[in-house]
Amino acid sequence: MSLDHRLSPEHEELRRTVEEFAHDVVAPKIGDLYERHEFPYEIVREMGRMGLFGLPFPEEYGGMGGDYLALGIALEELARVDSSVAITLEAGVSLGAMPVFRFGTEEQKREWLPRLCSGEILGAFGLTEPDAGSDAGGTKTTAVRDESTGEWVINGSKCFITNSGTDITGLVTVTAVTGRTDAGKPLISSIIVPSGTPGFTVAAPYSKVGWNASDTRELSFSDVRVPFANLLGEEGRGYAQFLRILDEGRIAIAALATGLAQGCVDESVKYAKERHAFGRPIGDNQAVQFKIADMEMRAHMARIGWRDAASRLVLGEPFKKEAALAKLYSSTVAVDNAREATQIHGGYGFMNEYPVARMWRDSKILEIGEGTSEVQRMLVARELGLSG
């Protein structure tokens, strides 16, 4: 594969377009929405019109015919300004639509992807449960066949599910135990549950530390019935399917984390030039300069990491280790840069009117969501041939 991570003219045009959108459309509105914990419907509609939700999908399904690198570019530019908007796109594409594209039947793709790609509806991925987070194999949600009606009967609950309760949420792909092996191990399958299905209840939004303009909910399923045809992929292959989805999603989260890290640099450079102390800009002080230089170094290296992983995915090469490394490193530096940006801003960094306060609150979840930092280290160790 090429070691040149410079963008093609098409990718660079996309980057500039999303950068302009983030600064001209997202930045002026998101602060108020964030503080009011309101979902950015107008912004999401505009993102849909721009084709951002269809970036990595073929045109035959309503997509833009791009690739995962294009998705990462868009996520990074959005997260430089705001992570709530970025995670809405990330979850809508990599967790909502991608399972349908990767594992769905042709009928399922034709039914769901055009509306998902246009942003008309959002999809969600119901994996995490109160007792099954990193240990996804501990899934307790069940789906039992009712042969008399040709339906799955689903019971259980999910938690921390992004995009699951908005006014435009169209479906949630739910992982559930559908049987047992001869050794008694659970067979986990993925099943599409359309929003509004009787027995499918969406709780009120969580009160969160960050990502306050994104939608995150707890879901419950009480004798929820959907047709056998809503099975996504092969029965009993749900565990392998979502591992693949999470491998890809880590690249997307790494791009988002890189954007947050770079946004901290952007805001710190701006503030260091404008803020005066002792008769001169604080950016004249070498201590501040060195902090910002280190922040830029971290963001730059994180960018190389996620683009490398994305390039391997696009080329059809193994990328599991590189995705885990990119997610681990970028999430770490996002937290580091957010902390340093807050320090550079001093007391103003603790005020919500400044973007870095939002970035500080948003950064920590990046070390947890879509695989904790500990899980990433475990995956890297396994890829190096270590086990235990």
Query: pLDDT tens digits for 57-84?
Result: 999 999 999 999 999 999 999 999 999 9
- Amino acid sitting at position 348: Y
For the chain, give percent helix, strand, coil, nearest 5: 55, 15, 25
For domain 9-122, the question of CATH label 3.90.340.10 is answered with no
User: Pick the catalytic residue: 107, 129, 370, 383?
Assistant: 370
Which stretches of the chain score pLDDT less than 70? 1-5, 134, 136, 388
The domains of the chain are located at 9-122, 124-235, 240-383
Tell me, what's the pLDDT at 1?
A: 44
- Measured CA to CA, the distance from residue 196 to residue 375 in angstroms comes to 34
Go through 24-60 and write b for each residue having 16 or more CB atoms within 10 A of its CB, e for each that does not: ebbeeebbebbeebebbeebbeebbebbbbbbbbeee
CA 97 → CA 93, 109, 359, 362, distances in Å?
A: 5, 9, 27, 24
- Cβ atoms of residues 241 and 188 within 8 Å: no
Is 77 assigned a catalytic role?
no
Please state the CATH superfamily assignment of the domain spanning residues 240-383 in this structure: Butyryl-CoA Dehydrogenase, subunit A, domain 3 (1.20.140.10)
Q: Which residues contact 343 (CB under 8 A, 6 or more apart)?
A: 291, 349
Task: Write phi, then psi, for 225 (nearest 5 degrees).
Answer: -110, 125
pTM: 0.95
Whether the Cβ atoms of residue 163 and residue 92 lie closer than 8 Å to each other? yes
Instruction: Tell me the pLDDT tens digit for each residue of 171-185.
Output: 999 999 999 988 888
**pLDDT value, residue 387:** 81
Return the SS3 of 373: helix
- DSSP state for residue 153 in the 8-state scheme: E
pLDDT of residue 4: 59
Q: What pLDDT is recorded for position 5?
A: 67
Is the domain spanning 124-235 CATH 3.30.70.20? The answer is: no
DSSP category for residue 327: H
Rounded to whole angstroms, the Cα distance separating 46 from 41 reads 9
How far apart, in whole angstroms, are the C-alpha atoms of residue 202 and residue 191? Answer: 17
How far lies 288's CA from each of 253, 263, 291, 336, 342, in Å?
28, 16, 5, 15, 12
> Would you give the end-to-end CA distance of the chain in angstroms?
32
Q: What is the pLDDT of residue 388?
A: 67
